[in-house]
Amino acid sequence: MKIVLTLILMAVLLIAPMLLSEFRLSLLGKFLAYAVLAIGLDLIWGYAGILSLGHGVYFGLGAYCMAMHLKLAAAGGRLPDFMSWSGIESLPWFWEPFRSAGAALALALLVPVSVALALGYLTFRNRIKGSFFSILSQALVIITVTLFVGQQGYTGGTNGLTNFDTFLGIPLGDPQTKLTLYYVTVAVVIATLAASLWLVSSRLGKILVAVRDAENRVRFIGFNPVAYKVFIYCASAALAGLAGVLFVLQEGIISPAQMGIVPSIEMVLWVAIGGRGTLFGAVLGAIVTNAAKSALSEAYPDLWPIMLGALFIVVVLFLPKGIAGTVKEWSERRGWFSSRGQEDGMPARQAPPASPAADI
């Protein structure tokens, strides 16, 4: 079943450029970048029981790392414009590594992982979990956003980083470049999904589910839950950083507003609406939720926040297992595929709580 769903997803995404306009295709590419982050968030929430309300930070850090390289390339050896406006006379030392595209990409993964490693180790080692961890992750968001807004001369402040138009000498605004970036994003989503499905089906995935359902019991039989939780949390942060790279290459801007509390909560809602603990649902939720947000804001500019909020309420109340979880349950009842509960590496009797709202 996993292979069939992967092939269907791949086919739909590959033929999308033939059916969508350049603008809509660009939007879909951005939504797919979000899907990479959503997969990572589903790994820690759906399988390890770690509810992070601060993943916007890791997304933003990855995006800023790539944007710093793009900004330096656009400056052509001179100081970035916002630094000159702020009275800075020489390039800060921590900007120097971002002259290299390879270093920028590596740091886009390493910086989020380093922050996640520090936060994860200190909290999980002290057995902080549940709502307490969620609150700490939101505190991380507040600290990071405040820092980025306050350091106008080094980060661009509230405006963030923008006004860059080439990557490795290739114009980002060229239609062919946008199409290439779209296919690259599709490839990353498929690879991330395949790797995640393999991970949750492996022994590691089984241990993560056990940690989620009975952490003390896992500890008593000789496993160290801290190591597993820190590992999967860092992996999720790396995926968020990678999503930020793909986003900034296609969107052309990153600002502190895109890594704040509201975007971080929206990221959790993507997974909840798509179907927690399914991985496919994370991809579906990221695409459907953001597509609905875009469509409603275009059609009803004054009412779309209310309509989007109503959509969230309807899904939580009437589709508590999310879109993918509800479809899977409905299919199992009709015998379309086995209900042994081993799809996506999660035992049926250990399914996550029915209502996402209960964990939030």
Q: Is the CB of residue 28 less than 8 Å from the CB of residue 287?
A: yes
Quote the distance between the C-alpha of residue 30 and its chain's center: 11
**CA-to-CA distance for 41 and 187, rounded, in angstroms?**
19
Task: Please give the helix or strand (H or E) that residue 147 lies within, else none.
Answer: helix 131-150
Q: Which amino acid belongs to residue 335?
A: G
Give the pTM.
0.88
Q: What is the largest CA-CA distance in the chain?
A: 69
Residue 349 confidence (pLDDT) above 70: no
Amino acid at 165: D
CA distances from 209 to 83, 169, 254, 352 (A): 48, 45, 35, 9
Q: Give the residue-averaged pLDDT of 183-203.
A: 93
pLDDT digits (tens, 9 = 90+) for 159-175: 999 888 888 888 888 88
Higher-confidence residue of 165 and 63: namely 63
pLDDT at 352 over 90: no
Phi/psi for 167 (5° steps) reads -135, 120
Task: Burial-class residue 313 by CB neighbours within 10 Å (0-12, 13-18, 19+).
Answer: exposed
Predicted pLDDT of residue 294: 87
Task: Using alpha carbons, select from 62, 184, 70 the residue that is nearest to residue 114.
Answer: 62
DSSP code for 259: G
- pLDDT of 189 reads 94
Which DSSP state fits 167? E
CA–CA separation, 166 vs 174, rounded Å?
10
